[in-house]
Amino acid sequence: MVLRRTLTSLAGLSVVAGLLAAPAMTSASALETPPATAAYAKKVIGHSVEGRPINAWHLGETGRPKVVLIAGMHGNEPAPTAILRTLRDGKSVHGIDLWVVPAYNPDGLAKGTRRNAHGVDLNRNYPYHWAPLTGSYYSGPKAASEPETRAMMRFLDDVEPDWILSFHQPLNGVDIDVERPKFAKRVARILGLPTTSLDCGGVCHGTMTGWFNHHQSGFALTVEYGARPSRRLMTRTAPGQVLDIFGAWRGTNQFDVVG
C-alpha cells in the first residue's frame, strides 16, 4: 500500500432536496487500465463470453446513498465510458457510495459491435418481459443466457444500489416515462439533455433497467447521449454533472489509500 496526500478544496456540492432521502472509440484494454495514482477498489464481477474481466470500481464513501453507473453495455456506444473512467481516475468522490462499470460489454467494445460475442443484445437478455427477439436486438436463446447478464445481476443483487444510471447512445435524451419522473427530469436538466420516452415502440423486452426496477427497491434510469458527444463533454463536463445529480463532489484534504 502507498499513502498519498491530496490537498484540494471541496467543490461542486449540490443539495438534492426531496430526491435523495437517497467520443471516439477506446480500446477495451484502455478502459480497464487506470493510472497508477488513482484511488479505488476494484471488483471483478464476472467475465465476458471471450473471457475478458468485467470490472466494477468502488469509489466514494460507504454509508452514503449507493449509486451504480454503467456504460459500454453496447460496444458501438463507447463515448459515455469516458465519463466513468474520468470519475474512476480522478480526485476522490464524496457524498455517495459509488460503483462504476465502464466496460460492461468488453467483447463488444473490443470489436465496436452492439452485441456481445454470442451476438446477443445484453439489454434484451434480462429475465423481465423477456421475448425471443431477432436481428440487432437478438435477445439470446433464453433469458439471462449470457455470462455478462448473469454477472451484472449478481453484482446488483449484492450491492443493492439506491440509484442506477445506465449510459447509452445515440438517442440523446433521458427517459421520463418512468416510475420516478421527478428524478428523471432532474437528471435531464443537470445533464443538459432533452426529456423523452424510451418505450421501444411498445414494451421494452428484457432490459436491465426494467429487470432492476421490478426486482429491487432502488431505481434504474436510462440516459442517452447523442451520436457524437465531444470528448470535452465526456471527460470534463459530464463527470461533474453526474455527481451533482446526487449531491456528490470530488476532492479531499484527507489521505487516500492507493494499492
CATH label of the domain that carries residue 205: 3.40.630.10
Predicted local distance difference test score (pLDDT) of residue 202 = 73
More confident of the two residues 201 and 212: 212
Q: Write the CB contacts of 110 (distance below 8 Å, at least 6 apart in sequence).
A: 27, 28, 52, 75
Predicted local distance difference test score (pLDDT) of residue 13 = 34
> What predicted TM-score, i.e. pTM, was given to this entire model?
0.84
Predicted local distance difference test score (pLDDT) of residue 39 = 52
Percent of the chain topping pLDDT 90: 77
Q: What is the mean pLDDT of residues 243-254?
A: 83
More confident of the two residues 32 and 140: 140
More confident of the two residues 30 and 144: 144
| pLDDT classification of 33: cutoffs 50, 70, 90 | low
Q: What is the mean pLDDT of residues 223-249?
A: 97
Query: At residue 248, does pLDDT exceed 90?
Result: yes
The DSSP letter of residue 71 is: -
Query: At residue 31, does pLDDT exceed 60?
Result: no
Q: Is the dihedral of CA 189, 72, 150, 156 positive or negative?
A: negative
Query: At residue 154, does pLDDT exceed 70?
Result: yes
Q: How far apart are CA 239 and CA 102, in angstroms?
A: 13
- For residue 83, the enclosing domain spans 2-258
Q: How far apart are CA 220 and CA 162, in angstroms?
A: 8
Predicted local distance difference test score (pLDDT) of residue 108 = 98
Q: What is the mean pLDDT of residues 109-123?
A: 98
Query: At residue 130, does pLDDT exceed 50?
Result: yes
Query: At residue 255, does pLDDT exceed 60?
Result: no
Whether the CB-CB separation of 140 and 146 falls below 8 Å is answered with: yes
Number of domains present in the structure of the chain: 1
Closest Cα partner for 69 from 245, 199, 207? 245
Query: At residue 215, does pLDDT exceed 90?
Result: yes
Q: Which residues are catalytic?
A: 224
**Mean pLDDT over all residues of the chain?**
86
Query: At residue 172, does pLDDT exceed 90?
Result: yes
Cell of 115: 452485441
